[in-house]
Structure 1
């Protein structure tokens, strides 16, 4: 137990340690996906980057093969966003997030008014039959539903199915080096798992409590507000209170200078390394949960940089950790080589790293060293690679 309130610096190192961003883990990819309660997967390549920065010797095929083998799946879960999760979580997390997804059907500006004119449970039943007959693209699903419910736009009908069924995006979507439109079926059908029954009294709260403990192990110490930000759910204080001695309560940094320490929750024995332990350069994907899973993000990014990362269109760029904090963005550009250097490698892949502020020589060398390995992972089919910093 710490002697006094945890500092922001201490919370930073605790988060990095639990996310395996201080030292890469030797764990299998499947174990890491489970430990982190999934990885953001807005783009097909995003989980690959998240795992590469956390696992020693990670290869594209390890995750691609797990997708094809139906050990992991891409599905809408926490915060109503697409994550790559284990098969077990692909049936559990949608059931826990049902209140969030149901609320979206009532308030979504594009679809709520249309869905008030239709029997949504009937849409759900019809959609389940259609996607379990065979996986369907979103547009096809909407079109087929509109044949039965002609007074509602196809897009709104497909949105209702997405909000009431655990719909996985089946491969080749998400397989490295392949592409395809989102094609959907239920997690139950694709994974061969029964629906999770949370109808008994307290069943939802008990299951949610177990997931809260997993969250704290991977993202803590954290507040109830942090848990709610990560999950997108509200009213979780009673769930946390039910955990009793399964959690410890620690004083954390005040919400404002001179204020009272905030109460933070943690699992007993959760990693709390020294606040000054060295943190290496790490490349993160867009929308990484490291940035999105706390109400108070000061543990991972400075306020002025956080504002720069929150774009008007909602896009969260790919970022770089420098000394443990988000202090740069990155992108990979390709350009053709003329003449081509090899029969299959016809492009030059350039990793552009854009620090928010000037970096010293040692930091620049660290960015280049990590970047040279990273750009070869990202553009494994390119003939040549380079790294440009700032």
Structure 2
């Protein structure tokens, strides 16, 4: 079985993630191809799309959000993702058991003895008037019936697990600060979530496998699980296995992939790219060694924005005091530093936040 080294896997990931070459595609098509974008920080998807699409304009994502072509909703790993409306409707029921389990695991004692179906029915009754509500407003409407659980626990149970919700604009619009207002997906999109089929064929699970590999492969089953948070996909993997090709990584893990998906040569040049916080190009794997060194794994879960140099996380970046600050994780060679500064200046022009300069922190040899 062919062994794919770390650098070969890196180039495959960059190609699938539109980070090797920016893509000429629409926002909706990009969000669909990426299987959604991590979006608990509302402004971060704009940088993620700017780094992936040619001539990206924030207004296109704003229009997709206000037109309900893409939605903000809890989905993979119980985190807020920006996904297409079609994917939200098709995938939500498949994720619901995981969403419930993760909320209950977080608030095991606070929610002990709660009848989930009863709470869900009561929440849907409150939201039947199709008025957007904050989590606090929804909890307030139910607090007389369930006064014991902490309001935060009851609220997360309702909006992140029991009722498929969309977080409505202006939340998530370009350079806009707005709180979360929830509305059931069915009311916002004009169609209820797709039910799971009654048989055990799991077509949604099979679609998730194929879609994940198209955007993240080659990857192991453990990577797939880490991306979506679903435990019950081995049967889906078995069902599509004959469609796939297999490799090994340097650690001996079996990697699955679509036969015709891009796998560029490991020496393909990789441009500097600025990634937003919690980007799935990093978080979408259990084994993240293809893109980030083990010593820096904490950055990927702590919300640091990062810079890819030669395809790997080599710096962090932030905007502070009208400066774009870049902190390398190791010394940058002169050509690398020049490329980082050039991409940083392009990013400042995109952000248009009165950023006066780019500052690269020196790193001792």
- Name the SS of the counterpart of 1:149 in structure 2: coil
Tell me whether 1:329 sits opposite 2:316 in the alignment: yes
Q: Find the aligned partners of 1:381 and 1:359 in 2 and give their Cα distance.
A: 26
Q: Partner of 1:11 in structure 2?
A: 9
Deviation, structure 1 residue 239: 1.7
Q: Find the aligned partners of 1:325 and 1:219 in 2 and give their Cα distance.
A: 15
The answer to whether the 8 A contact 1:117-1:152 is kept is no
Tell me whether 1:115 sits opposite 2:106 in the alignment: no
Tell me whether 1:292 sits opposite 2:292 in the alignment: no
Deviation, structure 1 residue 199: 4.5
Q: Partner of 2:346 in structure 1?
A: 373
Q: Partner of 1:94 in structure 2?
A: 92
Q: Find the aligned partners of 2:11 and 2:83 in 1 and give their Cα distance.
A: 25
The answer to whether the 8 A contact 2:88-2:193 is kept is no
Q: In the comparison of the two structures, how many residue pairs are matched?
A: 359
1:301-316 correspondence to structure 2 within 5 Å? 301-307=292-298, 309=299, 315-316=302-303
Q: Partner of 2:356 in structure 1?
A: 385
Unaligned runs of 5+ in 1: 255-260, 335-348
Q: Partner of 1:352 in structure 2?
A: 325
Deviations 1:227-253 (A, max 9, x none): 011111124222201113222222222
The answer to whether the 8 A contact 1:132-1:185 is kept is no
Task: Report the CA distance shift for 1:85/1:358 in structure 2 as closer, same or farther (over 3 A).
Answer: same
- Name the SS of the counterpart of 1:55 in structure 2: coil
Unaligned runs of 5+ in 2: none
- Name the SS of the counterpart of 1:84 in structure 2: strand
Tell me whether 1:265 sits opposite 2:238 in the alignment: no
The answer to whether the 8 A contact 1:332-1:375 is kept is no
Q: Find the aligned partners of 2:360 and 2:150 in 1 and give their Cα distance.
A: 47
Q: Find the aligned partners of 1:325 and 1:359 in 2 and give their Cα distance.
A: 12
The CA RMSD over aligned residues, in Å, is: 1.5
Deviation, structure 1 residue 381: 4.3
Tell me whether 1:143 sits opposite 2:145 in the alignment: no
Deviations 1:193-216 (A, max 9, x none): 22211040125x221111110000
- Name the SS of the counterpart of 1:306 in structure 2: helix
The answer to whether the 8 A contact 2:275-2:305 is kept is yes
Q: Partner of 2:64 in structure 1?
A: 66
Residue of structure 1 aligned with 2:207, choices 193, 207, 210: 210
TM-score where L is the length of structure 2: 0.94
Relative contact order, higher structure (CA 8 A, sep 6+): 2
- Name the SS of the counterpart of 1:47 in structure 2: helix
Tell me whether 1:40 sits opposite 2:38 in the alignment: yes
> What stretches of structure 1 move > 6 A for 4+ residues in a row?
none
Deviations 1:30-75 (A, max 9, x none): 1000000000001111110110000000011110111011110111
The answer to whether the 8 A contact 1:131-1:184 is kept is no
TM-score where L is the length of structure 1: 0.89
